[in-house]
Structure 1
Amino acid sequence: MEYVVLLLLVLGIWLLRELRPKSQWPESNDPQWPPEDERWDRRSSNRASPPHRRRQQSPAPFDASSSRPANTNEVLKGSAYVVDGDTITISKRQIRLFGIDAPEMNHPFGKKAKWALVALCKGQTVRAEVIASDDHGRSVAKCTLPDGRDLSAEMVRQGLAIDWPKYSNGAYLALEPDGVRKKLWLATARQKGHMHVWHKFEASKKAD
C-alpha cells in the first residue's frame, strides 16, 4: 500500500509539472533561463556597458591651477603609450608634452596627430624630464627620443601641434609651418580663451 501511495504522489507531481501554464518561467537551472523574450536587451538597456566595451574617453587635461614645480631630478624612461597628440603614458604615469597643444581626438586632425606621435614613439625608449605635476598625478615633461629629438618639436614641425606660448615662452613658435594655426583652428581658439568656438563645434557634431 505504501508503494502505491508513493507512486501516486510521484505521478501527481509529474502531472502538475506537465500541466502548468506555458507562460510560467522554467526552473532557474534551465539552460534557457530566463526565457528568450525576457532576456536583457543590451541595446535598449540603460545599464552601463561592460568596461571592455566602453568608449575610450579623452584624458583629463593637466590642471594648471593646481600645478606645482616638480623635482628637477625626476626623470621617467620607458616605452610610451600614446593617448593623443600631446599626451603619453610611461609606467602608468600620464604625461603632457611640454609647451605644445595638439587637437583633441574628436577634433579635425586629432586622430592624425595621435598616429604621428605613435610613429615617433614606436619601439623607442622615451625620456621624460618632469617639469610640473598637478594634484591628480598628471605631469608636464620635456620628452625626448634616444637620438635627442624633442617630441614636442617634432609634432610642431609636422604641423600637427602648435606652440603654446603661455607655457613654452615661445620655444617652438619658429617651428610652426605656415598656416598651421588656421589648420588647427580649435587649438588656436583654446589658446585665445574662445571656448564658445569649441562648444559650437561639438554641438554641430552631436547634431549630425
Structure 2
Amino acid sequence: MAPVFTCEVTRVHDGDGPLWCQSGERIRIAGVQAPDFTNAPPCRRPAAERRAFRCDNRAATRSRQLVSALVLRQRLRCQPVDTSYNRIVARCTLPDGRSLSCATIAAGAAVRWDRYWREYGMGGCA
C-alpha cells in the first residue's frame, strides 16, 4: 500500500473530486459518487439507492460548494487505495479526524458508491 501523504486543498472540481493539492496531486475521494457537470442527465445512484440521481449543473455546483466548504485550505491526511484517470483515489481524513468520504455523504454532496466502498474497505460512518 502506498504511504499516507498530506494534501493542502487548493481547488475542488466536484463532490467526489478531483481535489487539487498544493503539492500538485489530484485526489478522487474514495467510495463516493457525486453529481457530475454534464448536459446529459440523468445519471444514477448506486443500485442500493434505487432512485434517479440527476446530474444537472445545479446539483453538481451545490455538491462542489458543500465539499469546498469542508476542504478548501484544509490539510488532509490521505491513504491512496487506487488510481483513476491520472488521479489518486484516496481515503482521506479531515483535520478534525472525520472521514472525508463520510463527511461528503453527511453533507449531502455525494452518496456511497457501494462497489467501491467495499473494494476500498471504507468501513462505517459515525
CA offsets 1:131-178 (integer angstroms, 9 cap, x no match) = 1124x5321100111111111101111222111111112957878xxx
Alignment CA distance shift 1:115-1:167 (3 Å): same
Over residues 165-197 of structure 1, what are the superposed CA-to-partner deviations in whole Å (9 max), with x where a residue is unaligned?
11112957878xxxxxxxxxxxxxxxxxxxxxx
Distance in 2 (CA, whole Å) between partners of 1:161 and 1:142 is 15
- Residues 119, 103 of structure 1: alpha-carbon distance in 2 compared, 3 angstrom cutoff: same
Cα deviation code 1:49-92 (max 9, x no counterpart): xxxxxxxxxxxxxxxxxxxxxxx242221311211111112222
Q: Answer 1 or 2: higher relative contact order, Cα 8 Å, separation at least 6.
A: 2
Q: Give the superposition deviation at 1:120.
A: 0.4
| Secondary structure, counterpart of 2:73 in structure 1 | coil
Q: Does 1:152 align with 2:82?
A: no
Distance 1:137 1:150 in 2: 23
Alignment correspondent of 1:6: none
More helix by share: 1
In 1: Cα distance, 2:125 partner to 2:75 partner: 27
TM-score scaled by length of structure 2:
0.70
Task: Indicate which of 86, 96, 103 corresponds to 2:28.
Answer: 96
- Alignment identity in percent? 31
- Using a 3 Å threshold, how does the CA distance of structure 1 residues 171 and 133 change in structure 2: closer, same or farther? closer
CA RMSD across the alignment = 2.3
Q: Is the 8 A contact 1:101 1:162 kept in 2?
A: yes
Alignment of 1:38-187 (within 5 A): 72-80=1-9, 81-87=11-17, 88-90=19-21, 91-106=23-38, 107=56, 108-134=58-84, 136-169=85-118, 171=122
Asked whether the equivalents of residues 78 and 126 of structure 1 are also in contact (C-alpha less than 8 Å), the reply is: yes
Report the CA distance shift for 1:174/1:146 in structure 2 as closer, same or farther (over 3 A).
closer
Q: Whose strand fraction is larger, Structure 1's or Structure 2's? A: 2
1:89 alignment partner AA: W
Distance 2:99 2:124 in 1: 14
Match of 2:44 in 1: none
Runs of 4+ in 1 over 6 A off after TM superposition: 172-175
Gaps of 5+ in 2: 39-55
Q: Closer, same or farther in 2 for the Cα pair 1:171/1:102, shift >3 Å?
A: same
